[in-house]
Amino acid sequence: MASTPVTRDTINPKVLECEYAVRGEIVILAQKLQEDLKNNPKSQPFDEILYCNIGNPQSLGQKPITFFREVLALCDHPALLDKSETHSLFSADSIKRASQILSQIPGQATGAYSHSQGVKGLRDTIAAGIEARDGFPADPNDIFLTDGASPAVHMMMQLLIRSEKDGILCPIPQYPLYSASIALHGGTLVPYYLDEATGWGLEISELKKQLETAKSKGICVRALVVINPGNPTGQVLAENNQKQIVDFCKTEGLVLLADEVYQENVYVPDKKFYSFKKVARSMGYGEKDITLVSFQSVSKGYYGECGKRGGYMEITGFSPEVREQIYKLASVNLCSNISGQILASLVMSPPKAGDQCYESYSAEKNAILSSLAKRAQQLEHALNGLEGVSCNRAEGAMYLFPRIELPKKAVEAAKGAKTAPDTFYARRLLNATGIVVVPGSGFGQAAGTLHFRCTILPQEDRIPAIISRLTKFHEAFMKEFRD
Amino acid sequence: MASTPVTRDTINPKVLECEYAVRGEIVILAQKLQEDLKNNPKSQPFDEILYCNIGNPQSLGQKPITFFREVLALCDHPALLDKSETHSLFSADSIKRASQILSQIPGQATGAYSHSQGVKGLRDTIAAGIEARDGFPADPNDIFLTDGASPAVHMMMQLLIRSEKDGILCPIPQYPLYSASIALHGGTLVPYYLDEATGWGLEISELKKQLETAKSKGICVRALVVINPGNPTGQVLAENNQKQIVDFCKTEGLVLLADEVYQENVYVPDKKFYSFKKVARSMGYGEKDITLVSFQSVSKGYYGECGKRGGYMEITGFSPEVREQIYKLASVNLCSNISGQILASLVMSPPKAGDQCYESYSAEKNAILSSLAKRAQQLEHALNGLEGVSCNRAEGAMYLFPRIELPKKAVEAAKGAKTAPDTFYARRLLNATGIVVVPGSGFGQAAGTLHFRCTILPQEDRIPAIISRLTKFHEAFMKEFRD
């Protein structure tokens, strides 16, 4: 065989299959419009592009938590710790914490590769944070620090998927990292549908039905992905529902892949986040009963430190032989970035009551979380006021996922434009208002329904203008296409 | 099909196949011994473990470049820029550069996800740095910033490998990232042997021979990996040799994957680093003539910022359709960490003559590079003085790769211990001295030969003690096993 030039037809077909709408065609169009605006500010009917496509809080003006950044800066440049001026620039708590962290890193070498799972001292801190959160023990050797949650998800898919005969149960709608990763690793996504009518309820009967269907097609289902709080749906699972899910995985021998990156993002008083590990342990299930992976990230929560690419997975219930293979996979990439590792330890062990900086830290944290709750409510209310739009409340996470019923004429116009109706809507919205949302088809949706995902992340003072632009656009759109 | 419990036998067999000796069994043993030493300092015949297994300079005491760390700290905590005390703590150049960088990041949001390829302004800086290095244009749109070079290599393997029928030409010995990545992506490593007798020469006749052999087995060879300066071999390619390689890739339609992460690590006056892009362009070959990927990292050079996980690849000669797919792959992981991105821009655009901090920066840089050159020479000299050991000079990179001829009795003892002879030697060396090296089998070696890889990274004042420990061990080993 001769070598083959690299063309679309000769690359890995799994790459072609993979889709990632969160940064897909609408976003590429948005980047183009932004470029146009830069060159000619009058070229569009709006002043700026508003990226509501992705959970990227700091890109929309959210400020980082001061304590976290002070510690990071001191760790990046430890020479500061010996200078007297430092005490007037940094809080005493930050100086203390940075010194502690540096003492946990062999030789204080933050520029060195760490252990493949991450710096041991930081994993100790994270394990202690998990214990404090759950009330059950956590083992630092179960923690794998990663560059955000995405590489951890890839690692588990790489481990579990042997061929297209291996299936992973995923919610629909889902965060497209899962479908992309399953496609790249050549597995089969086995969908289970969240019930929009009951606030995106996760029904065990649906899990069972889809599992049986997959089995009947010769698919060996290996794991269940649960995103809690939900992305793009924003629902927070009830503890009782979580217990059923744990029992289902235990009975069916499935690895429970728990995406818990929004654990700090719960906005309603009647819901609370419980980690799946806490739920399983509280049911009396230990390592031998259930195999469980929990993903956490520094990108979400009230901190929103997406650019730092920090995160971890906590793995429990794997045999030593399999753990060895997971370790090997981690070691091929040497380690995750140390600033991200430090930040992961900070978010799992923030200032505590009594610490000097606790009040200012808490004020920053609470301002962000209460504002997010308010924005979620305002946007949800506005969306529900639009003709043909219905939207479940965002109990948690960072998104709304409204359902839109489009007039037949709009659906036909989309067909004419050779695009999906929700993409057609999102494109028109962008062109008219500069607001970037992601079409529901990027996440999956029940047949015959249309949605889009919109983050709740624009700053609070911008929300009224966004609502008014969105409302104006929607009314005009419906008027244009009304049957 | 029922779900299958996760055991060694039911995970992805590609994961089992993949090997990564740089963090393999010898290193795991070293970590255990280090734990033992911590609990009982008298438990071993040495005081400390000396990690010479991996190019990790700061773990062995190398200090980071002050300018780079000042800029990183200021970017992590931009509030410092407004404080008067900052001017007594940071150099004026660092303050200026940090301000420039922050102005290139939309909203100064270093905690935000960037463009999937990395912050555009930083890519502009890197492209300018490449232009200054090569004397040929570079396009910021060709740059993909990544968390170190490893993810970039994985991305290219993922793109090119469709099945085990796709082959990648790799040097033997090679850095095991390549064999691991090819194994994980299910391709075939097509080996070409570097000629130890001619200082690890890369012969075109060998490339041709191996290409033909692979073709005759039905393998479609898609790319050629060249590591220059070499890892683990330390050779620096002559420009003329590089021209031959470029012509070979052009003629055979192979993607040239150029691992150029050691571009700043050249220690001998008779050799100089030329990027493959410079070589190709100087031959008059443009985008349409050759497809070329250059990998660069912040982990190597004189900076050695391994823990920051920064790096990039520059891709040229791909069609727009294929580039779109590469962009999609990058976007699935959203972006690389921003501190690593900033650092990549700094290493490609360090202080220049005339800058206030240029002298202190140059002093730090030159001290590191001249010391590395000295250490390489001292260790090479010592190794060549040992019975049965011969070692090519390290012209560049961070390693020596001595060949060892072991007595038959030692080979038999290894067989008895069910391990490879070089692993046997490395294990004995570790147990006797605390020095961690990687057996040659982890990199591949010509049949019938044995080697180990040892970094040149221990600090200069430690080298005499290391040489004496190594010499003493080797003499005792040879005495024990002499035929």
- The pLDDT tens digits of the residues spanning A280-320 come to 999 999 999 999 999 999 999 999 999 999 999 999 999 99
Cα distances (Å, whole numbers) of residue B60 to A355, B49, B304, B377, B462? 35, 11, 11, 18, 10
Mean pLDDT of chain A: 95
Beta bridge partners of A191: A170
User: Residue A483 — very low, low, confident or very high, per pLDDT cuts 50/70/90?
Assistant: confident
Q: A342 CB near a chain B CB, below 8 Å?
A: no
Q: Does B311 touch chain A (CB under 8 A)?
A: no
Return the pLDDT at A25.
85
d(CA A457, CA A449): 25
pLDDT in tens, B98-156: 999 999 998 888 999 999 999 999 999 999 999 999 999 999 999 999 999 999 999 99
The percentage of residues in chain B with a pLDDT greater than 70, rounded to a whole number, is: 99
pLDDT at B21: 75
Would the CB atoms of B111 and A58 count as touching at under 8 Å? yes
Q: Mind telling me how many Å the CA of B12 is from chain A's nearest CA? A: 4
Tell me the one-letter amino acid at A436.
V
Rounded (10°) CA dihedral A66, A72, A73, A78:
140
Which residue in chain B is spatially nearest to A328 when comparing CA positions? B20
pLDDT of B351 reads 97
| Other beta carbons within 10 Å of A41 | 10
How confident is the model at residue A5, as a pLDDT? 82
pLDDT over 60 at B2, yes or no: no
Give the bridge partners for B80, in sequence order.
none
Q: Do A73 and B74 touch (CB under 8 A)?
A: yes
Interface test with A, best of B77, B89, B295 (most A CBs within 10 A): B77
**In whole angstroms, what is the distance from residue B340 CA to residue B312 CA?**
10
CA distance A114 to A336: 8
Quote the tokens at residue A163. Answer: 């061929």
Pairing of strands A399-400, A403-404: unpaired
Q: Does A445 touch chain B (CB under 8 A)?
A: no
A339:B89 CB<8 A = no
Mean pLDDT, rounded, of chain B: 95
Query: Among A15-29, B155-169, B193-207, B210-224, where is mean pLDDT lowest?
Result: A15-29
Residue B3 has a pLDDT of: 64
Q: Please report, as a single letter, which amino acid is at residue A448.
A: G
Model confidence at A3, in pLDDT bands (50, 70, 90)? low
Res A59 pLDDT > 70: yes
* CB atoms near residue B44 (< 10 Å): 18
A residues 188-217 near B, CB within 8 Å?
A: 215
pLDDT of B334 strictly over 80: yes
The number of beta carbons lying within 10 Å of the beta carbon of residue A120 is 17
Output the pLDDT for position A2.
55
Exposure letters B126-147 (e unless 16+ CB within 10 A, then b): bbebbeebbeeebebebbbbbb
DSSP character string of B82-130:
G-TTHHHHS-HHHHHHHHHHHHHSGGG-TTS---TT--HHHHHHHHHHH
Cα(A8)–Cα(B64) distance, integer angstroms: 43
Best mutation site among A97, A147, A250, A293 for testing chain B: the one with the most B CBs within 10 Å? A147
Report the residue from B5, B22, B222 with minimal CB separation from A253: B5
A124 confidence band (pLDDT: 50, 70, 90): very high
Number of inter-chain CB pairs under 8 A, A vs B: 296
Q: Which single residue is written with the structure tokens 């692979």?
A: B214
Q: Is the pLDDT reported for residue A86 higher than 70?
A: yes
pLDDT the model gives residue B398: 96
Q: Which residues contact A237 (CB under 8 A, 6 or more apart)?
A: A202, A226, A228, A229, A230, A245, A274
> Residue A304: its chain B contacts at CB < 8 A?
111
The answer on pLDDT for A4 being more than 80 is no
Q: How confident is the model at residue B20 (pLDDT cuts 50, 70, 90)?
A: confident
Tokens of A138: 């956590």
pLDDT, one tens digit per residue, over B399-451 is 999 999 999 999 999 999 999 999 999 999 999 999 999 999 999 999 999 99
Is residue B254 less than 8 Å (CB to CB) from chain A? yes
- Residue B78 is predicted with a pLDDT of 94
Residue B89 at interface with chain A, using a CB cutoff of 8 Å: yes
Chain A (385-424) residues lying within 8 Å, Cβ to Cβ, of chain B: none
- What number is the ipTM of this complex? 0.95
Mean pLDDT of A325-337: 93
Q: What pLDDT, on the 0 to 100 scale, is given for residue B111? A: 96
β-sheet with B292-297: strand ranges across: B143-146, B311-316, B292-297, B255-259, B220-227, B166-172, B188-193
Give CA–CA dist B100/B95, Å, rounded.
9
Q: Which amino acid is at B442?
A: G
Cβ of A74 and B70 within 8 Å? no
CA atoms of A155 and A148, how far apart (whole Å): 12
Query: Facing residues of A311 across strands?
Result: A146, A297
What contacts A479, CB < 8 A, 6 or more positions away? Answer: none
Nearby residues of A18 by Cβ (< 8 Å), 6 or more positions away: A179, A180, A183, A184, B328, B329, B332
Q: A216-257 pLDDT, tens per residue?
A: 999 999 999 999 999 999 999 999 999 999 999 999 999 999
Residue of A nearest to B168 (CA): A3
Q: Closest partner residue to B332 among A20, A114, A308, by Cβ?
A: A20
All residues at 6 or more sequence positions from A354 whose CB lies less than 8 Å from its CB, including other chains: none
B336 touches chain A (CB under 8 A): yes
Phi, psi (deg, nearest 5) at residue B404: -120, 130
pLDDT at B22 over 80: no
Q: What is the C-alpha to C-alpha distance for residues A166 and A182, in angstroms, rounded to an integer? A: 10
* β partners of residue B51: B436
Between A12, A106, A332, which is nearest B20 by CB? A332
Cα–Cα distances in angstroms (integers) from residue A213 to residues A218, A221, A446, B4, B468, in the given order: 9, 10, 17, 16, 68
pLDDT attached to residue B108: 87
Residue A104 CB neighbours (<10 A) = 17
By the 8 A CB rule, do B76 and A69 touch? yes
The two structure tokens encoding residue B428: 């004995």
Note whether B146 contacts A: Cβ–Cβ < 8 A.
no
What is the β-pairing status of strands B188-193 and B166-172? Answer: parallel
How many CA atoms are closer than 13 Å to the CA of B283, on its beta-carbon side? 22
**Total-model pTM:** 0.96
Average pLDDT over residues A152-176: 97
| A114 in contact with B, Cβ within 8 Å | yes
Average pLDDT score over residue span A99-103:
96
Nearest to B77 among A59, A69, A150 (CB): A69
Distance CA A215, CA A202 (A): 20
Is the Cβ of A173 closer than 8 Å to some Cβ of chain B?
Answer: no
